[in-house]
Amino acid sequence: MDALWSLTASEITTRLRAGELTARAVTEAALGRIDLANGPLNAVVERCDGAALAAADAVDAARASGQALGPLAGVPVTVKVNVDQTGHATTNGLRLQRDLIAAQDSPVVANLRKAGAVIVGRTNTPAFSLRWFTRNSLHGATKNPRNPALTPGGSSGGGAAAVAAGMGALAHGTDIAGSIRYPAYACGLHGLRPSLGRVPAFNFTGPDRQIGAQLMAVSGPIARSVADLRLGLEAMAAPDLRDPWYMPAPLRGPDAPRRAALCLAPDGMQVAPEIKQALRAAAARLEAAGWEVVEQDTPPLHEAMMEQLTLWLAETRRGGDAVIGQEDDPDANIVYQRLSALRPPVDVNGLLDTLQARSRLTRDWRAFLSDWPVLLCPVSGALPFADHADVGPQEDFDAIVAAQMLQIAFPFMGLPGLTVTTGTVHGPYGETPVGVQLVANQFREDLLLDAGEAIGDTVPIAP
């Protein structure tokens, strides 16, 4: 019989409902796995043992008394340190926030609890959740359990590493420019960036974010199976009107043609041959499952990436410079300086122009995705990067940004995206995960998950 810590969320909920296991036993197994695996990985930077066992006992008591169980009943999950969890510091990887203790849960954390999930720990992120790599001056660096020479991704690198190593069946992540999709890619997992308005989220430890972050930042799940992402989305998307962007859209939309557009090199970007091969193999799996797949060009993406950077940097420059300087995290200092050089400061007219461009680009993309309900495209133009390559030579940083165009661009339009891992290849740093990305119209995560289940298999835990 499989070790309890190795079960997927779907397996846990099925067996718990059948009375084949208890939530306490599963939780104890997950905590034991953290004892064993976390040391060299540093994925879980704060443990929740006591509260986790109490939550597991509550699930077992509810089942024993015949109460209805939530979609994630008894499932060990982790929560990223950049969202509020009662009694814990919302550090966001910052020494400045090591004592910023949350007095109440963020809506997404509250929804996980209501769904019966058992929070076993909080996971690492880079300072300010700024990078596609995971290291900060407060919690240290997280390693990729599939290959320590590679980045675990960022900014939800701790959550992805935890799932890949079996320290929880499901991880919470956030994504403003790839922070769910890229860690899933780098750690050989599946990760869902939901639509703007799908998953309610707000941190009560701080003020409302400015408009760019409001429009682009979302919370979502990372898991070893696409079926688990479906469970995670159902739990996370429960109504909570404390988030003014939340929309009570149905999780299953109207029937749509099973048609997918395949784009091997969107907007002319450079794409590694191993990734193109993975895309063609994914297209063949879709066709075998009854989908029509046709190669297509896409609406603009480079423009969307540059407008996203313009908007994000305009907001960060408005007060963020001082905070970044005060934190003085070496990685964040380098990355912010290099990002700032990509886009000049804008005045209020430039900001209004950026928001106007967002309307046009979103309209173009929604029209495209109305004709082609799913887009099959790269996650990144490159295989997962060597760890901390972004703080190396300037030319490496420039190549990383170019490769990450699709990570940055799609959030500008508020679109959902799904990373599906498709296996491994032999890369310059050894065995390397590879995968593909699926994109759909707003609130059509159901189409992404349907297509993702045709492409992606349940992923084994890293040895």
* 162: confidence class by pLDDT, cuts 50, 70, 90: very high
pLDDT number for residue 463: 86
State yes or no: pLDDT of 274 exceeds 60.
Answer: yes
pLDDT number for residue 319: 83
**Segment 73-110, tens digit of pLDDT:** 999 999 999 999 999 999 999 999 999 999 999 999 99
Mean pLDDT of 444-456: 98
pLDDT number for residue 152: 99
Q: Is the dihedral of CA 93, 95, 98, 99 positive or negative?
A: negative
Query: What CA–CA distance (Å, rounded) separates 178 from 185?
Result: 10
Mean pLDDT of 345-360: 97
Q: Is 179 a catalytic residue?
A: yes
| Residue 164 φ/ψ, nearest 5 degrees | -60, -30
pLDDT number for residue 320: 85
pLDDT number for residue 172: 98
- Buried b vs exposed e over 423-451: b needs ≥16 C-beta within 10 Å? ebbebeeeebbbbbbbbbbbbbbbbbbbb
Kindly state the tokens that stand for 231. 């469970």
3-state DSSP assignment of residue 314: helix
Question: Which one of the listed residues 80, 143, 195, 225 is annotated catalytic?
Answer: 80
* Alpha-carbon separation of residue 265 from 30, 249, 405, 433 (angstroms): 40, 32, 11, 19
Question: Which one of the listed residues 10, 106, 155, 225 is annotated catalytic?
Answer: 155
State yes or no: pLDDT of 214 exceeds 70.
Answer: yes
State yes or no: pLDDT of 1 exceeds 70.
Answer: no
Mean pLDDT of 439-447: 98
Closest CA to 433 of 185, 164, 264: 185
User: Is 190 within 8 Å of 224 (Cβ atoms)?
Assistant: yes
Q: Is 155 a catalytic residue?
A: yes
State yes or no: pLDDT of 120 exceeds 60.
Answer: yes
**Segment 280-289, tens digit of pLDDT:** 999 999 999 9
User: Is 243 within 8 Å of 400 (Cβ atoms)?
Assistant: no
* 22: confidence class by pLDDT, cuts 50, 70, 90: very high
pLDDT number for residue 2: 73
Query: What CA–CA distance (Å, rounded) separates 68 from 61?
Result: 11
Residue listed under structure tokens 């084994």: 460
pLDDT number for residue 16: 98
Query: What CA–CA distance (Å, rounded) separates 424 from 435?
Result: 8
Q: How many C-beta atoms lie closer than 10 Å to residue 4's C-beta?
A: 21
* 383: confidence class by pLDDT, cuts 50, 70, 90: very high
Q: Is 80 a catalytic residue?
A: yes
Output the average pLDDT for the chain. Answer: 97
**Segment 354-372, tens digit of pLDDT:** 999 999 999 999 999 999 9
Cβ neighbourhood burial of 253 (10 Å; 0-12, 13-18, 19+): middle
Kindly state the DSSP code that residue 187 receives in the 8-state scheme.
T
Query: What CA–CA distance (Å, rounded) separates 271 from 405?
Result: 11
pLDDT number for residue 104: 98
The verdict on domain 7-455 having CATH code 1.10.1740.110 is no
Question: Which one of the listed residues 106, 129, 179, 219 is annotated catalytic?
Answer: 179
Mean pLDDT of 343-347: 95
Angle between the 320-327 and 330-340 helix axes, to the nearest 10 degrees? 150
**CA–centroid distance for 19 within its chain:** 32
Beta-ladder partners of 430: 427
**Segment 165-198, tens digit of pLDDT:** 999 999 999 999 999 999 999 999 999 999 999 9
